[in-house]
Amino acid sequence: MTTIAANDTPADEQAGDIADINQYISFNVGKELYAVEITTVREIKGWIPTTSLPNSPDYMRGVINLRGVIVPVFDLRTRFRRGQTEPGKNHVVIIVKLDARTIGILVDAVSDILSISSEEILTVPDLDVNPEYRFMEGLVAVEEKMVAIIKPRLLFNMELVPDLEPETAAEVA
């Protein structure tokens, strides 16, 4: 995995205010590229089967046991209404920590680590689309492709994700 600046300049060669640069992990769902802020990512795991839970939404694959913590795994392809992922050995689960909650996001593959300044993030056009798309923080051009930066907290129903007990939360962090 390489670090790529959104303007194709290696991150260590970029000039300007470093405090204004954030890093994101980019990943593929089909041919589309998405990214989440790196500070929310705890680890990246290869696909392991989940245990499904009754009455859960179709985009919730089930749960996994991550060192004693039950983590719900959400299928991003299904969440984006593009069918269900048929996971194989190349699929990965990105483990994301949101406050006291931990979730897994099933994606096709992790792509790169991106260094992006806030000025490079473009506003998502208001196209009178479903308000459900408010989960997108913005868009950024990387190597002639558009990467959608997502906010996992707004992408999934966090009521489905239990709060961790304080002692368990400390073990995961």
Residues pairing with 3 in the sheet: 113
Q: Are 70 and 173 in contact (CB under 8 A)?
A: no
Ranking 8-22, 51-65, 144-158 by mean pLDDT, the lowest is 8-22
Nearest Cα to 110, choosing from 96, 134, 93? 93
Q: Output the pLDDT for position 20.
A: 84
Q: Domains of the chain (ranges plus CATH)?
A: 3-172 (2.40.50.180)
Chain segment 105-150, per-residue pLDDT in tens: 999 999 999 999 988 988 877 765 555 567 788 899 988 899 999 9
Q: Are 84 and 75 in contact (CB under 8 A)?
A: yes
* Torsion on CA atoms 82, 87, 88, 91, rounded to nearest 10: 80
pTM assigned to the model? 0.77
Residue 163, number of CB atoms within 10 A of its CB:
12
Chain segment 64-110, per-residue pLDDT in tens: 999 999 999 999 999 888 899 999 989 999 999 988 889 999 999 99
Does residue 126 sit in helix, strand or coil?
coil
